[in-house]
Chain A
Amino acid sequence: MKNIKQSLLIAAWFVFLTFPLMVVKVNTLKHLVEWRWLNMLWVALGAFFLSFVWRWAMERKQLRSRADEESGGDDGTGLGHRLLHDPKLFRPALGGLAAAALLFPWVLDVYQVNIMVLALIFVVLGLGLNITVGLAGLLDLGYVAFFAVGAYSYALINQYYGLGFWACLPVGGIIGAFLGVVLGFPILRLRGDYLAIVTLGFGSIAKIVIENWEDFTNGAKGVANIPRPGLFGMEMNIGAATIYTYYLMLLMVLFTIFVTNRLKDSRIGRAWMALREDEIACVAMGVDMARTKLSAYAFGAFWAGAVGVIFAARNTYINPNSFTFMESAIVLSIVVLGGMGSIVGVIIAALVLILMPEYLRAFADYRMLVFGAVMVLMMIFRPQGLIANVRKTYVHRKPAAEESNG
């Protein structure tokens, strides 16, 4: 009874809150007012029912955190982790996944493959940003700038010097990494939130420069006729080229996973994670802060630059509108929703976030709305992400004989 009364109050509050924007629509030119009373009903009903869900979820969250405190923290034995750490389950799952990935372009049509290529591009972007944000803890809101620089470097080098895709792929990555260092250098001393606003600024500066440097970048018109990746000069129709790009992207993803996985356990990777946990303690332990931070930027930006080249080749046309803050936010949310620092989580989140809107075309208008709401809800109810990154721990195993005795 108390709950119902509370929910009624909440519904009333939301009706009040959304009244001018949802119900009234004014046309100031023709002096017309449109009243949409039906919307009010939807808001009231929605708020009423959602408030129950919200309360229930909050209670569960509290119960869980209490249980965690008693059992000494989450031990991370969800289904995801069982799948990842039990070789009996992990190997067949991986085999099936590999077969599905390889067969994918032969089963489905070119349209689907094309979308999948885009999703894989975001997988690599997510994994790249995962280095900067997830591992090193440097919040970067202008990540898309590196992506744009990679894409434009291929488009422009090709336009002016006629260099091909394969020559530009590493060049795009290197230019991205170089810019990462250039950007990283002045902001080494900044922390957390200051860093966020400066990188955000950098992202919008990159877009403004591309948009306004008409003579060089073609401005808002963009660059067209970018060649697709070639294969020993073979002629390919669009279908074959798409499938080829798909396999290329698949290789790129595997390469990225391999490298980030190795980086994670390397000396520099551990320095990144130490930096993320506590900067001062980390520096006190003798880690070179400048080098570590710059390398995190450079490695993160490298992938964005390289995958930008593939993006330009896939689209054969680029313009500044593909590189807005929105893209940075999407990549960042891929990293956060997937679970910071967790490679599998990032891959799943990228696939879900990019493929879901494509297959939910009917809800296309609402997707950014849902996207924002999911970001908020995820932070509240599952801040560790889909698959939390579990640190390697060394468990002491008792010798078998002792165990049977005990």
Chain B
Amino acid sequence: MDYFLELVCSGLVRGSIYALIALGYTMVYGIIQLINFAHGEIYMIGAFVALIVSGVLTIYGFSGVSILVLAALIAAIYAAAYGYTLEKIAYRPLRTAPRLSPLISAIGASLFLQNYVLLAQTPDYLPFPELIPEFAFMDPIAQRTGLGSAELVILVTSAVTMIGLTVLIKYTRIGKAMRATQQDMTMARLVGVNVDRVISMTFVIGSVLAAIGGVLVGSSIGQINFYIGFMAGVKAFTAAVLGGIGNIPGAALGGLVLGLAESLAAGYVSSAYEDVFAFGVLVIILILRPEGLLGKAVKQKV
């Protein structure tokens, strides 16, 4: 029983990271129907910036939680800047192009960013400093469930971020503009919404979430390299599709389902095949519900 509990807990942690990254995919897709393939790379860049900042700060004698906060903050700023620039260079000129063009452009941008980090830094795995402190009160829980303080921080942070995002979208001006743009871009523009700004903001918010995910994963796994963004991106996109793409609670649900499925498959079947199970779940759910778990079926107009 404890083994099962352990698997569920690790699945939840994994899933909440997927969910955090998936939100960026889902928001962008909801508004401009683009799979932002380079989103995983933003996550990777977030992790790298955090690593560099924390490394420099450690050497200059800082320590403790201040490093974590500062590293996460700077990583979020940089990820936002990268997301913004990416949209401006690689996607905005293709706003009116056929659907396949921005997708190819996104794949190109993803390759570019990967190799940029590879060349500017290193192809090796870099050890990521342990930024999250050990909480004493977690010890008894960790013994039963394997849920350490790093995992607790991940769960709490992603829950808080997701609630924050929901509030942002429901109650703020920019959230309202986003929902309007999602419903009908032309109409939103006609009633005075600055659509370009809304899209930029979407990229910025999504990138910040991805960077938070990158920092959390980096400090709980303990190592990163230039290639981590690819698989994380694919998994997060899978999560977004699972939950019904364009749907924010769906992305959270999809992430959790995917994380649990992977963790259980890794625990009871074989850890080598966990990715196979992830995609297997995706295919099965898409066959049964092509619009995703929480998605609404859209009637095609002829």
- Contact surface of A with B, Cβ cutoff 8 Å: 13, 16-18, 20-22, 24-29, 31-33, 39, 58, 61, 139, 186-187, 189-190, 192-194, 196-198, 200-202, 204-205, 208-209, 211-212, 280-281, 284, 325, 329, 332-333, 336, 340, 365-366, 368-369, 371-376, 378-380, 383
Contacts of A211 in B (CB 8 A): 272
**A187, B283: Cβ atoms under 8 Å?**
yes
B153 within 8 A of A: no
Contacts of A192 in B (CB 8 A): 99
Q: A376-B90, A379-B102 are in contact. Are A208 and B230 (CB under 8 A)?
A: no
- Contact surface of B with A, Cβ cutoff 8 Å: 29, 33, 35, 45, 48-49, 51-53, 55-56, 58-59, 74, 78, 81-82, 85, 89-90, 93-94, 97-105, 107-117, 119-122, 126-129, 230, 234, 237-238, 241, 245, 270, 272-273, 275-276, 278-279, 282-283, 286-287, 290, 300, 302
Q: A26-B51, A31-B58 are in contact. Are A201 and B283 (CB under 8 A)?
A: yes
Cβ 8 A contact of B241, one of A28, A197, A205, A372: A197
**B237, A197: Cβ atoms under 8 Å?**
yes
**Considering the chains assembled together, what is the distance between the CA atoms of A208 and B280 in angstroms?**
13
Contacts of B128 in A (CB 8 A): 28
Cβ 8 A contact of B119, one of A17, A24, A281, A366: A366
**B110, A31: Cβ atoms under 8 Å?**
no
Which residue among A197, A200, A374 has the maximum number of chain B CB atoms within 10 Å of its CB? A197
**A284, B302: Cβ atoms under 8 Å?**
yes
Chain A residue, CB-CB nearest to B237? A197
**Considering the chains assembled together, what is the distance between the CA atoms of A187 and B290 in angstroms?**
9
**Considering the chains assembled together, what is the distance between the CA atoms of A27 and B125 in angstroms?**
11
**B49, A28: Cβ atoms under 8 Å?**
no
Q: A26-B51, A212-B272 are in contact. Are A194 and B241 (CB under 8 A)?
A: yes
**B105, A379: Cβ atoms under 8 Å?**
yes
**B111, A368: Cβ atoms under 8 Å?**
yes
**A208, B272: Cβ atoms under 8 Å?**
yes
**B110, A365: Cβ atoms under 8 Å?**
no
Cβ 8 A contact of B279, one of A24, A198, A280: A198
**B279, A20: Cβ atoms under 8 Å?**
no
Which residue among B48, B81, B94, B105 has the maximum number of chain A CB atoms within 10 Å of its CB? B105
Cβ 8 A contact of B290, one of A17, A189, A201: A189
**B115, A372: Cβ atoms under 8 Å?**
yes
Contacts of B94 in A (CB 8 A): 379-380, 383
Minimum distance in angstroms from A25 CB to a CB of chain B: 7
**Considering the chains assembled together, what is the distance between the CA atoms of A339 and B222 in angstroms?**
44
Which residue among B74, B122, B286 has the maximum number of chain A CB atoms within 10 Å of its CB? B286
Q: Which 4 A-B pairs have the closest CB atoms?
A: A375-B108, A372-B112, A26-B55, A372-B111
**B273, A212: Cβ atoms under 8 Å?**
yes
Contacts A61-B93, A202-B279, A369-B112 supplied; 6 other A-B pairs, CB < 8 Å:
A20-B48, A28-B128, A139-B100, A198-B286, A332-B107, A383-B101
**Considering the chains assembled together, what is the distance between the CA atoms of A32 and B129 in angstroms?**
14
Q: A24-B52, A187-B283 are in contact. Are A372 and B109 (CB under 8 A)?
A: yes
Cβ 8 A contact of B105, one of A193, A325, A375: A375
Which residue among B85, B90, B126, B245 has the maximum number of chain A CB atoms within 10 Å of its CB? B90
Q: A139-B103, A383-B101 are in contact. Are A205 and B126 (CB under 8 A)?
A: no
**B119, A369: Cβ atoms under 8 Å?**
yes
Chain A residue, CB-CB nearest to B276? A205
Minimum distance in angstroms from B57 CB to a CB of chain A: 10
**B120, A18: Cβ atoms under 8 Å?**
yes
Cβ 8 A contact of A372, one of B56, B100, B110, B273: B110
Q: A18-B120, A31-B59 are in contact. Are A333 and B104 (CB under 8 A)?
A: yes
Minimum distance in angstroms from B180 CB to a CB of chain A: 23
A-B contact pairs, 15 of them (CB 8 A): A18-B120, A21-B117, A21-B120, A190-B286, A193-B35, A194-B286, A197-B282, A201-B278, A204-B275, A212-B273, A281-B302, A333-B104, A373-B112, A383-B94, A383-B101
**Considering the chains assembled together, what is the distance between the CA atoms of A329 and B106 in angstroms?**
11
